Structure 1
Amino acid sequence: MANTLYRPLLQTLTIHSATFRFARYYGKWMHRNPAKVILPFEPKDNVQLRKEKVIELDSDFFKKTPKKETIQKSIAETSEESLQNKVNFKEVKDKKETLLKKRLFYLSQKKVFDDKNEIIYEKLKDNDSKISSLFVKLKSKKERLRSNQIMVEGWRMIVDGLEAKCNIQYILFSRIEDLNNLRPFLPKTGVQIYKIPYKEMELWSDVETSPGIVGVFEMPTPEQIRRFSKPLPLQFLCDNIRVPGNLGAILRAAVGVGCEKVLLSKGCVDIWDSKVIRSAAGAHFRLPIYSSIDWEEMPQHLPSDTSLFIADSNTDFVENETEETSKVGSEIPVLPYYGVDFASLNHVTLIIGGETESVSEMSYRLGVNSNGARLHIPLQKGVDSLNTGMAAAVIAFEIRKQLTQAAAKAKRDRQAAKY
């Protein structure tokens, strides 16, 4: 009874299954791409088929059994090949281990280049304790002085330090091309180089867009500064320069004009502050700088034959001056900066005051005791003063111009005397 009921259903499923199978194979047949379709009524002479190479095999080939010698030879060849692969693998492994040991030895010895003259560096991951502890020290003024280290950002400023033969201790970078820019200037040994992710560099950078490379130098002393040319008989004395950008601009002007050295009184901003270093554009490595000098010790840093001048825009002392400062400052004569014959002087000391604090009473007292003068830069009506860095540059380049002209005239006179 049950078979009678289910028989029509089974027949229906069988028919549908055969139909689906036919449709599937029909679809595959329809998508064929035959080389050529030969029609029954087409002459055989017009049929052009591509000839394929046919490999003919001897019918007895499959009946033959390999000889025992052949099998043994094949096994021997396979064993020899396997043994050779093991030997090659061992050689490659030993070579890698040797290279790794040599690299670790070079890193421990702080070597900069390997046997192939490639720069050796160690790749570090995010939040490595070496980097975080190093940056924490460099960010603190107290720790900088204790460790005697300074940090500069950007490969150009690192090159300035390397050209000045300053001792570099660490290089941290993110991009290989920045490191390769330092290649001609790098020492052979003594530097630890680390590659860290750029986002880590951004985290510790003092600028909005990190240059991607940082150099850590041993803090240079004035005696270690390497000069590229003979300096002028001119020095700056910075009095209460509190703004980092202003001090950096003064140092940059001092290097550009060819100053002998720069003196900083107590109260000036930290000379190794990151903003001062950036705005000075490498001046720290090319100029002897004496910082945090007490006013009682200041005369010891002045040559005995120096002539002292004060860059001062306040010529009448009518505003923002204490009675004592006004009284002392009024005792010093005021001259336009171009009205002095600097070429006739043996040595010049130029005092530059801060914009917020202006020139201090101690500077005026030093000027009185040294028979100095105040230099005034005439400005357009409605303009009170110039930026301290700009004022220093204006006066310093006037001094340079007069000294250069005097030297050229003396040279012409000597040549004329020979003839």
Structure 2
Amino acid sequence: MLFIKKSTNMANLLKNRVVQQLQHVRCLPRWQQRTTRVTAAEDYAKSTDSITLSEPVSEDKDFNQNTEQSLQKTSAKGEKSTQEPLSTISHLKGIQKKSVEGLSVSFDKDGNVVYTKMGNNDIRISRLMALAKSSNMKEKKKLMLLEGKILIREALQSGCNLQYLLFSRLKEVECLKNFLPCKDVQIYKLPYKEIQSWSDLTMCPGIMGIFQIPDTESYKPIDPLPITVICDNVREPSNLGSILRICSGVGCENLILTKGCVNAWNTKVLRTGSGAHFKLHIVNKTNWSDIIAALPDNYSLFIADNNVERLSGGTDKSIPVLPYYSVNFKMSKHIVLILGGETHGISPESYALAEEKKGIRLNIPLHNDLDSLNTSIALGIIIFEVKRQLSNLHTDNLHYDIRDICTNNL
């Protein structure tokens, strides 16, 4: 009996140890996986043999270059295959994938999309996504990640440089065929669950695009309104994305972000902005000395500030507070509007500039003891009033009477 009891205890102990090890392995992050074989870059370039999808990635100091090289796949057998025209790159209706210095074509001679079929947990995709989603690497490599065909199409129409396109269903790519570049883009087909694991959305759209961040400072808007919006310490991504969208809808000339603001190319900011990034002149992470030097001459300064008793030391008397609808914005040659974040509010540098330029603090009257509104909502209320005045959209000039409309609809 004693022997049987000891055997049972040993079996239970072994079982628990195995379960612990399995849980440990299951929880290992994908980017901690190790390759089983390392191939030098010069050896890889000389190689003419076909590379299977399980081929490990070569490791080198220039990670981006090796990632592009390791994701190439060429096969001489592709010229004879006609059964699976869109299964992998090497089986594309009698055409072998062409590449020049690691950059590939997007379509074959029949106009079909050329792509590589990848499996689950591929370490190359893990490294690529880690590169695109990491904030530090994003600043170094200047990459942005977009999800959904609508946002990807907006970026392509704006001339952004697409480097990688990941999708799970071919119909998602078919909607973008007219906008995709003919070459210099890597296209990969992944299982839906693999893309879903990397998605930041509750409902994964099944398609992602990795672009180079465009140079928004050189963008010149078409026929903009003389309005410059300065975001002062706006650190909430959804707020900044909404601000970008509103400024694009109004037609602002400039949008300036101080150093305290969230990164404009954050995935959540990009998603909330809905393509506004590509239609605005954005100056990012700027010091106040550079902001003051970049502002045009003869501008009028306004601060969206609902906290009437915010200032101390008598400076509140030198910066008047007025309701936003009582200001005649048409008298200004150029309007500079400063917005503060909800957490830190307006910075002392903004108040100092407003006091120096004899600016005005704009107030939105509220009821029910509310202190303030969301930053983006406050901007929408004020800036559309500015647009109404600058565009001469007065109620006296309306072409329709509401009473006549109601009578005609009865």
TM norm structure 2: 0.71
Q: Which amino acid aligns with 2:114?
A: I
Aligned with 1:165: secondary structure? coil
Matches of 1:295 and 1:106, distance apart in 2? 47
Quote the residue 2:376 is aligned against: 389
* Cα separation, 2, equivalents of 1:380 and 1:98: 67
Find the residue that maps to 1:405 and give its secondary structure.
Answer: coil
In structure 2, the residue corresponding to 1:365 is in which secondary structure? helix
TM-aligned CA deviation for residue 331 of structure 1: 2.1
Q: Work out which of the residue numbers 169, 173, 176 in structure 2 matches 1:175.
A: 169
Q: Which runs of 5+ in 2 are unaligned?
A: 1-76, 82-89, 397-410
Q: Which residue of 1 aligns with 2:183?
A: 189
Aligned to 1:378: 365
Partner of 2:291: 298
CA positional deviation for 1:130: 2.1
Relative contact order higher in (CA < 8 Å, ≥ 6 apart): 1
Separation of aligned partners in 1, 2:109 and 2:171: 20
Checking the alignment, whether the CA contact within 8 Å between 1:172 and 1:213 is kept in structure 2 is yes
**Which of 330-339 and 254-263 deviates more?**
330-339
Structure 1 CA distance, aligned partners of 2:187 and 2:168?
11
Structure 2 vs 1, CA of residues 281 and 330 (structure 1 numbering), >3 Å: closer, same or farther?
A: farther
Name 2:42's counterpart in structure 1: none
Paired residue secondary structure (1:357): coil
Residue 371 of structure 2 aligns to a residue whose secondary structure is coil
Match of 2:145 among 151, 158, 167: 151
Q: How far apart are the structure 2 equivalents of 1:226 and 1:306?
A: 19
Contact 1:328/1:365, CA 8 A, preserved across alignment: no
Larger Rg: 1
Partner-residue secondary structure (3-state), 1:103:
coil
Match of 2:49 in 1: none
CA distance in 2 between counterparts of 1:295 and 1:224 reads 20
Matches within 5 A, 1:12-411: 95-96=80-81, 102-105=95-98, 109-225=103-219, 227=221, 229-317=222-310, 323=312, 327-405=314-392
Q: Specify the code of the residue in structure 2 equivalent to 1:312.
A: D
Residues 142/328 of structure 1: CA separation in 2 closer, same or farther (3 Å cut): farther
Equivalent position amino acid for 1:120 in 2 = V
2:79/2:94 contact within 8 Å kept? no
Structure 1 spans left out of the alignment, 5+ residues = 1-91, 410-419
**Could you tell me which amino acid in structure 2 is paired with residue 300 of structure 1?**
A
Task: Report the Cα offset of residue 334 of structure 1.
Answer: 1.0
- Count of residues in correspondence between the two structures: 312
The separation in 2 between residues aligned to 1:137 and 1:98, in whole angstroms, is 29
1:276 counterpart letter in structure 2: V
Distance, in Å, in 2 between the alignment partners of 1:360 and 1:148 is: 29
Give me the whole-angstrom Cα distance separating, in 1, the residues matched to 2:182 and 2:78. Answer: 29
State the Cα distance separating 1:199 from its structure 2 match. 0.9
User: Which AA in structure 1 matches 2:247?
Assistant: A
Q: Which amino acid in the other structure matches residue 95 of structure 2?
A: K
Q: Which residue pairs with 1:38 in the alignment?
A: none
Number of the residue aligned with 1:52:
none
- Deviation beyond 3 Å, 4+ runs, structure 1: 92-102, 106-109, 223-227, 326-330
Secondary structure (helix, strand or coil) at the match of 1:263 reads strand
- Taking only aligned residues, the RMSD between alpha carbons, in angstroms, comes to 2.5
Measure the CA separation in 2 of the matches of 1:221 and 1:215.
18
| Separation of aligned partners in 1, 2:338 and 2:169 | 43
Q: Is the 8 A contact 1:264 1:293 kept in 2?
A: yes
Taking the aligned partners of 1:225 and 1:119, their CA distance within structure 2 comes to 31
Mapped contact 2:196–2:204 kept (Cα < 8 A): yes
In 1, Cα distance between equivalents of 2:204 and 2:183? 27
Instruction: Give, in angstroms, the shift of residue 336 of structure 1.
Output: 1.1
In structure 1, the residue matched to 2:13 is: none
Which position in structure 2 is the counterpart of 1:71?
none
Contact between 1:152 and 1:216, CA under 8 Å: does it hold in 2?
yes
Aligned-pair identity in percent equals 42
User: What's the CA shift for 1:266?
Assistant: 1.2
Q: Supply the distance in 2 between the matched residues of 1:246 and 1:138 (Cα, whole angstroms).
A: 22
Question: How far is 1:151 from its partner?
Answer: 0.6
Instruction: Identify which range, 207-216 or 387-396, moves more after superposition.
Output: 207-216
Distance 1:214 1:224, change over 3 A: farther
Cα displacement (A) at 1:102: 3.3
SS at 2:150 equivalent = helix
CA distance change for structure 1 residues 113 and 353 in 2, over 3 Å: closer, same or farther? same
* TM superposition shift of 1:381: 3.2
Structure 1 contact 252–281 (Cα < 8 Å) conserved: yes
Task: Select the structure that is richer in helix.
Answer: 1
How far apart, CA to CA, are the structure 1 residues paired with 2:163 and 2:215?
16
Determine if contact 1:232/1:260 at 8 Å carries over to the other structure: yes
- Which of 232-241 and 214-223 deviates more? 214-223
Once residues 302 and 248 of structure 2 are traced to their aligned partners in structure 1, the CA distance between those partners, rounded to angstroms, is 19
SS of 1:296's partner is helix
Distance in 1 between the 2:91 and 2:325 partners? 70
Return the offset for 1:129.
Answer: 2.3
What CA distance in whole angstroms lies between the structure 2 residues aligned with 1:94 and 1:243?
53
SS at match of 1:297: helix
Q: What secondary structure does 2:318 align onto?
A: coil
Distance 1:350 1:374 in 2: 10
Shift of 1:112: 1.4
Residue by residue over 1:148-176, the C-alpha shift from the partner in whole angstroms, topping out at 9 and shown as x without a partner, is: 11111111000110111111111101111
Deviations 1:2-32 (A, max 9, x none): xxxxxxxxxxxxxxxxxxxxxxxxxxxxxxx
